[in-house]
Amino acid sequence: MSDPEKVTGGLNSLGAKDIFLLFRDHLEPITSYVIKTFGHDRLEKILAASDLKVIGPVTISNQGFDFTDSTFKVNFGEISADLIKSDFGGLYSALYTEIKTHLGPKVALELFYGVFIQVKDKYDYVPVSAFLDIMPEEIKSRERLSILSRKELEDQVFERTKELEEEKSKVERKVEERTRELQAEKNKLETVTENMLEGVILIDSFLRPIFVNKDGRRIMGISDSMIDKAVEIFDRYFTINSSKYLSGELSVSRSISLEKEIDNLIYEISFRRVSPVRDGENECYLIWIKNITQFKLLERAKSEFVSVAAHQLRTPLSGIKWTLAMFIKGDLGLLTPDQKAFIMKTYESNERMIILVNDLLNVEHISSQGAEYSLQPTDGFDLIENILVDLSSDIKNKNITIKLDRGSVPAVPMDAEKMRLVFQNLLENAVKYTMKGGSIIVSAKKEDHFVTVCVADTGIGIPVSQQPNIFKRFYRASNATRIHTDGSGLGLFLVRTIVEHHGGKVWFESVEGQGTSFFVSLPLRAI
């Protein structure tokens, strides 16, 4: 692309060689025309008269000037563009005058004009417009406008090109910036994943490993080059069939966790389904490997401590209970009414301690891994009715209406002793947290392969903000602690542990001040 600014310098702004080539392209066809029309001699005369200084002596062949030869002889570095211009300019006007005189202005103009058009097509705006300066007036006036519009066009193209180039460099800068940002993000992510103290394996939907972090490689003892085989090695190492967990069971729940003990280390392994890492692809899977040995050892130590302490407490508490009972009955001599009232209070406190110790022992026993479950088809309602007999005096004291709706549900495989604890806790809570004159409805129904029992009361309810914590160990809602200062907060934890061991689910619906419904759902097929 030529720079329009240069035009101001006219033909002089071009190099001597450019001007020479320009004239050659124009003069060659004209001189060959002159030879054809007037003969060789006439051309020589014209040439002599024009007194060419620069390129002469020029050989004249049958086709006209032999510029090919001259081109190589001339040292353009030493000749000024002005000189060539005046040289050729003179020859050029001599030829034009000659043709015009002998063949008329029309022929001269047509010949020069035709050749000029060819030159115009071949060269850029700058040389052509400069060349036009020494054209006969007729051609000059005819062509100036078209040359100018060509200049405008070239200017516009030049402007647009400039804009596009600016645009392009802006886009390039943005791409560079974005690439830098992405690189920084990638580095951040790599730093985190490579330095985290958990193993991570990312797998595509065809169970091919996409990524294994440093700790994952370390745990399984694999090198970078073995990453393609990571899932295979993982399965062998942990004796797990990943495809079973990933393809089958993840379609039911979105995440599965299990524990594996290898070489005295305990790992928690979770399989999770995650969003695709690349657009348009299927979901991916993550396998998390966490070393939970320390946590497990602590938990074991704590459980051992709690059960030893609870066991040790049970015997003296029973001793205290019997001694107090003997006082109350008068076996150890008559008591004054005041003494008796104090002893009664002590007896009740001792009873609460016994309940707490039993709860603790139950929790530790039932949540320990070795707890054995023996499932037998059982009618849950028989257990419920039995428990209600035990609770009858409280129910009567609080004037609570009980309604049982057995429905027509089949017997469910369950460990009756442990499920008794479940229903006992739910019914005790319902009675405990329902005010005088309230009511409790216990119902059951079968849905698909599950039987669901519901214990609904019209009691104090559970505040929404505290509902997420209700199954946690030792958690008690604030409205419950206000009306019942005693209570261990262990009951529901126990309920959930037992129900989940049966492959079932427990949940509740509650409105504070209106009541609570607990649902226990057990599978009909033994798991």
Task: Name the residues that contact ligand ADP, by CB under 6 A.
Answer: 425, 429-430, 433, 457, 459-462, 470, 475-477, 480, 487-493, 516
Two structure tokens written together for 496? 């959930």
For ligand ADP, which is the closer residue by CB, 18 or 359? 359
Please, what is the minimum distance in Å from the beta carbon of residue 387 to ligand ADP?
A: 14
Distance CA 57, CA 70 (A): 9
- C-beta of 209 vs 459, nearer to ligand ADP: 459
CB closer to ligand ADP, 57 vs 513: 513
d(CA 229, CA 225): 9
Choose between 271 and 493: whose C-beta lies nearer to ligand ADP.
493
Smallest gap from Cβ 428 to ligand ADP, in A, equals 7
Q: State the minimum distance, in angstroms, from the CB of residue 465 to ligand ADP.
A: 12
The SS3 assignment for 209 reads strand
Pairwise CA distance, residues 11 & 14, whole Å: 6
Q: Minimum CB separation from ligand ADP for residue 364, in Å? A: 15
Query: DSSP assignment of 280-306, as one string?
Result: TPPPEEEEEEEE-HHHHHHHHHHHHHH
What is the closest distance, in whole angstroms, from the C-beta atom of residue 310 to ligand ADP in the complex? 16
Minimum CB–partner distance for residue 351 and ligand ADP (Å): 14
Judged by CB, which is closer to ligand ADP: 242, or 488?
488
| Beta pairing, strands 439-447 & 412-414 | unpaired
Q: How far is the CB of 415 from ligand ADP (least distance, A)?
A: 20
Q: Dihedral (C-alpha) 60, 64, 65, 66: value to the nearest 10 degrees?
A: -80
Partners of 506 in the beta sheet? Answer: 520
Please write down the HEC assignment for all residues of 332-401.
CCCCCHHHHHHHHHHHHHHHHHHHHHHHHHHHHHHHCCCCCCCCEEECHHHHHHHHHHHHHHHHHHCCCE
Task: Using CB positions, name the residue nearest to ligand ADP.
Answer: 491
Neighbours of 479 (CB within 10 A): 17
Q: Is 111 or 492 the residue whose CB approaches ligand ADP more closely?
A: 492
Residue 509 pairs in a beta bridge with 517
Distance in Å, CB of 430 to ligand ADP, minimum:
5
**For residue 341, how many other CB atoms are within 10 A of its CB?**
11
